Amino acid sequence: MTTAIPSTFRLGDRIVNRIGYGAMQLAGPGVFGPPKDRAAAVAVLREAVAAGVNHIDTSDFYGPHVTNQIIREALSPYPDDLTLVTKVGARRDEKGAWLPASSPAELVAAVHDNLRHLGRDVLDVVNLRVMFDTAGPKEGSIAPQLAALVELQRQGLVRHIGLSNVTPAQVAEGRGMCEIVSVQNQYNLAHREDDAMVDALAKNGIAFVPFFPLGGFSPLQSDALSDVAKRLGSSPLRVALAWLLHRSPNILLIPGTSSVAHLKDNLRAGELTLPEDALAMLDAIASPA
């Protein structure tokens, strides 16, 4: 028995297709510096939008500045239905290290950098990327940082606010200060520490956007995943994306690639229906919490 899965979900005041695009890989190696082939990066973005992608995830600290500048070159003037989501709270040093940048002054500057490099008057969604620990969520109050974004929202520079790399307690704290429209944490077939969070957000109509949906810098590998993919005549990574679409209707995908061929394969995840026995095999992949 199989169940049809929804193809769209609400993100702020927009209804977006659940398969979007993550722009991280448009920068150079290590998400630092320019791409080897800028024209190819532009082509991928234009192909994504032409194929129906209306949710693009980016940040001005990718590059830094590189991905936002490429997005502007490729897509401006932007389609009316395109939702651009960016994030603030981090910076890169001259060697490409990821460092916190979450003082109110740094957050204000980051929002203005995103506006300038994207060529926008207002940002659709800004995620506060919490950097208490770059390796994963860590407890601590996010009130000072979030207050800075709330003030920018009051000024009309930010339409909606989301959170990234956060704990359930931080989500609750954030929702006590403003409307939170999305949460972006690491989550995929093998990393499912946020199972309960996904379900709680779904009950409240809040989007969950998994980063590294395909494993990030260490791509997902599993015999069970390969077996399911072979049986369905699909690629393993397309199956991994399809599993996320089946997992919960509030999950929005932002797989990234610098290849048009890989982009097309990712987008086909929405066409893949996973039978119940295949879902059971895939559910069993998760690493112990």
Active-site positions read 62
Place of tokens 């939170």: 180
Q: What's the rounded Cα separation, in Å, for the pair 15 and 12?
A: 8
Q: What's the rounded Cα separation, in Å, for the pair 24 and 154?
A: 29
Output the six-digit token pair for 190: 């093998």
72: exposed, middle or buried (Cβ count in 10 Å: 0-12, 13-18, 19+)? middle
| Residue 124 DSSP SS3 | strand
| Residue 107 DSSP SS3 | helix
| Residue 108 DSSP SS3 | helix
| Residue 135: C-alpha distances to residues 5, 138, 166, 243 (Å) | 32, 9, 11, 24
Residues 6+ apart with CB under 8 A from 279: 243, 246
| Residue 131: C-alpha distances to residues 135, 144, 234 (Å) | 9, 13, 37
